[in-house]
């Protein structure tokens, strides 16, 4: 089996990892600004708003 057969799969996995790392970085940036969250729901709302913002950008 040639290594080239795995290249598309590996590129897909790396792309997903980089996307998740970027999302985590964006969450951490906003978390540093807010510093304290009164409830768990407020954290979830922040992440939902971030995901909707990213979705709008396409």
Residues 1-38: tens digit of each pLDDT: 455 677 888 888 989 999 999 999 999 999 899 888 89
At residue 1, the pLDDT reads 47
Rounded to an integer, the average pLDDT of 31-57 is: 91
Distance CA(26)–CA(41), nearest Å, equals 18
For residue 43, give every residue at least 6 positions away whose Cβ sits within 8 Å of its Cβ, in sequence order, or none: 37
At residue 16, the pLDDT reads 92
Distance CA(43)–CA(3), nearest Å, equals 43
- Taking alpha carbons only, the member of 47, 44, 41, 15 closest to residue 28 is 47
Distance CA(42)–CA(25), nearest Å, equals 18
**Structural domains counted in the chain:** 1
At residue 4, the pLDDT reads 62
Tokens 């290594």 locate to: 3
Encoded tokens for 35: 């510093």
Q: Which domain holds residue 32?
A: 3-57
At residue 23, the pLDDT reads 92
């Amino acid at each position: 089996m040639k290594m080239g057969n795995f290249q598309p799969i590996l590129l897909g996995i790396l792309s997903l990892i980089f996307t998740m790392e970027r999302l985590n970085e964006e969450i951490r940036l906003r978390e540093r600004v807010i510093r304290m969250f009164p409830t768990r729901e407020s954290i979830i709302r922040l992440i939902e708003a971030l995901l909707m913002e990213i979705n709008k950008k396409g």
